[in-house]
Structure 1
């Protein structure tokens, strides 16, 4: 090879390297700019410190206790509006979510029997983890608390024009917004209200169904090209409103794994399952769900192990269950 050709080849390599460096610097600059834009959308939030003695899965699956909380609750204690267990399997590239009905009447370690969401009020995510472990034999390594205000801001950062939802009926009771039937693009506050609505015949079962619908819609938006571009801003917006024991390196590894092998769908299960509960009223507790724990434990483990049986939730029909 002549000296002239070697010089030209070396020059081309330098140009390519310089171009890649410019692209990397631009990408980092964009990430920082969008991240800071997200931080500016957020507010300063004080968090209560929690312990969490979660157990690592033996098969490398990532199990996270997801809790939707209202930090504006009285007495300085947040209350859980939603209880979910999310599992991501990096080997199979699958994502699953178990929605736990908050009105399940159960034994809470160290306390009397209450509704299951009372465990968080009494002892934070660790007591709720212990309650789920004792009743359903669920090993959960991580927890994540998402504040309602943060949810609203995260949705607005991800989708400024709103998330498309087919609202099935008029909704307004106790959700802070008024929604009309039909296909609408809901902003953060409206989407939260839609997910929290339960003043109909389905009650909490309807709310859980809508929460799963919202998660699916947000997943589709997040994994779209628009969502990938908005990810830095979303992270910046979400940071003040989310509490988790996931380390930054662990979280980034999960995010990278998800984007490298996108799940085709998020599989869902609602507990209790069909024909496994009765609707009862306890003095001092109110309306609650008395469930068959063995039947639901079996359904959970079948679901997490890949068996599609017993994955349908029990439709709430108070008149039927009371009879």
Structure 2
């Protein structure tokens, strides 16, 4: 009996270990998913308070490291139905875990911002995702704003809806001018189940309604308010996770996995979460780029459609001051005069484009522009480099071509000018022998012979003339 009890005890211990491992996996994966919303710190904080208290032994064999300094993670929202298909970024947000100042931060970059995309020239910054995925988008942001992003989490619309439905929806204050656009986006999705919004004020939105709310664009202050809505939704979802029952974690995990892509290792995600969980406040400080419409201009530009041209140098400084030095920007953080000088050159180029190509066109939101001349220039440079690399076989061909250069001896065809010997037709002047006809005064026979000879010679001369003419 004791032996059986001992075996049963060992089985139970093994089961506990298996369960603890499963919980660890659930926690790590869940944190990865929730970092999409920059709520890893919040989630981890509550997981430790709820899960680990129920099973204190679960965390004994795992240690977490507080991450020093500042960690930036690019959060990407895409309108693609599948994560691997080419599509533009609909939301571009930098999540910052600032352990220097013990703060969480969100910095959103407006998707229509005109930026230089490596090998694609100037395009809307959200097109970088369509051209080269998250890596190219990070590279574009780094080169335009002097950053060093190397971590990302990407979620598509399906995941966005699932996240909000899993937390039971969010409550949002709806304005009257937002309702038509909100309902328009609700109606865009297949198999629509969510009802349309009919009233203003605080409304509880499900996943589909909340997604439509975050996509509202062409009302109020346009894309400026759009990015504010996106950050508001993230903040509301984060707060909802505080009250999420641990029993919901498995369903959250299974629901979100198909909609998420990241290059961050699970254990590192736990370390980031552990770092954030120690902050005194788990609310987010927020920044929008461009910071002010006084250092940006929106309108139709060349063949790019509607774009937002910003002072990248000034906005990059504002962004870096906010992320790294915890400085909140104000009206003294930028120079309008400096921006107007830069904008003038953009507008001059735009006017020249109109003169050469006619009126400007506006494109649909899902339009992905083709490669630009800058890429073609790079292609030509590449082809030149390829030619230089193949120079060795090319050096063999010149010797074959060089003998053809002796075709220059064709110039010695001038000796062909000896056609001038036609001038020696003067010897034909020996027709003068006709003068000997003078002795024919008394000799009729000689006259006859001479006349016969004379008649023959001119014929020969005519034949010679014809021959020479030929």
- State the TM bucket, normalised to the shorter chain: 0.7 to 0.9
Q: Distance in 2 between matches of 1:204 and 1:198?
A: 5
Deviations 1:43-76 (A, max 9, x none): xxxxxxxxxxxxxxx9632211111012238x94
Residues 1:289 and 2:311 aligned together: no
Structure 1 spans left out of the alignment, 5+ residues: 1-20, 39-57, 313-320
TM-score normalized by the length of structure 1: 0.74
Secondary structure, counterpart of 2:144 in structure 1? helix
2:162 to 147, 153, 162: 153
Distance (Å, rounded) in 2 between the aligned partners of 1:256 and 1:235: 19
Aligned mate of 1:241, from 252, 259, 268: 259
Residue 235 of structure 1 deviates from its aligned partner by 2.9
Residue 15 of structure 1 is matched in structure 2 by none
Higher-Rg member (1/2): 2
> Where does residue 171 of structure 1 map in the other structure?
179
Partner of 2:330, secondary structure, is coil
Partner of 1:48: none
Q: Distance in 1 between matches of 2:101 and 2:249?
A: 24
Larger proportion of strand: 1
Identify which of 128, 133, 144 aligns with 2:137: 128
Sort the Cα spacing of 1:227 and 1:193 in 2 relative to 1 into closer, same or farther, 3 A: farther
Deviation of 1:120 after TM superposition, in Å, equals 1.1
* 1:260 Cα deviation after fit: 4.4
214, 226, 234: which one pairs with 1:195?
Answer: 214
Q: Distance in 2 between matches of 1:78 and 1:112?
A: 18
Check 1:302–1:155 CA distance in 2 against 1; reply closer, same or farther (3 A cut): same
Following TM superposition, by how much is the alpha carbon of 1:231 offset from its aligned partner in structure 2, in angstroms?
3.8
SS in 1 for 2:314: helix
Q: Which structure is higher in helix share? A: 2
Separation in structure 1 between the aligned mates of residue 246 and residue 275 of structure 2, nearest angstrom: 14
Displacement of 1:299 in angstroms is 0.5
Instruction: State the match for 2:352 in structure 1.
Output: none
Q: Give the equivalent residue in structure 2 for 1:65.
A: 74
Give 1:152 shift. Answer: 0.7
1:255 matched to 2:264? The reply is no
1:309 and 2:342 matched: no
Structure 2 gap segments, 5+ residues each: 1-12, 31-66, 188-195, 333-342, 344-470
SS across alignment from 2:186: coil
Whole-Å separation in 1 of the counterparts to 2:285 and 2:201: 25
Q: Which residue in the other structure is 2:95 paired with? A: 86
Shift of 1:287: 1.2
Question: In the comparison of the two structures, how many residue pairs are matched?
Answer: 271
Secondary structure at 1:88's aligned position in 2? strand
CA contact (8 A) 2:80 2:86 kept: yes
TM-score, with normalisation over the residues of structure 2? Answer: 0.52
Aligned to 1:112: 121
CA deviation after TM superposition for structure 1 residue 27, in Å: 7.5
Offset, 1:172? 4.0
Deviations 1:23-47 (CA, angstroms, capped at 9, x unpaired):
x779759959989xx9xxxxxxxxx
| Counterpart position of 1:267 | 285
CA gap of 1:141–1:33, structure 2 versus 1, over 3 A, is closer
Q: Which secondary structure state, in structure 2, belongs to the residue aligned with residue 110 of structure 1?
A: coil
Q: Distance in 2 between matches of 1:100 and 1:186?
A: 25
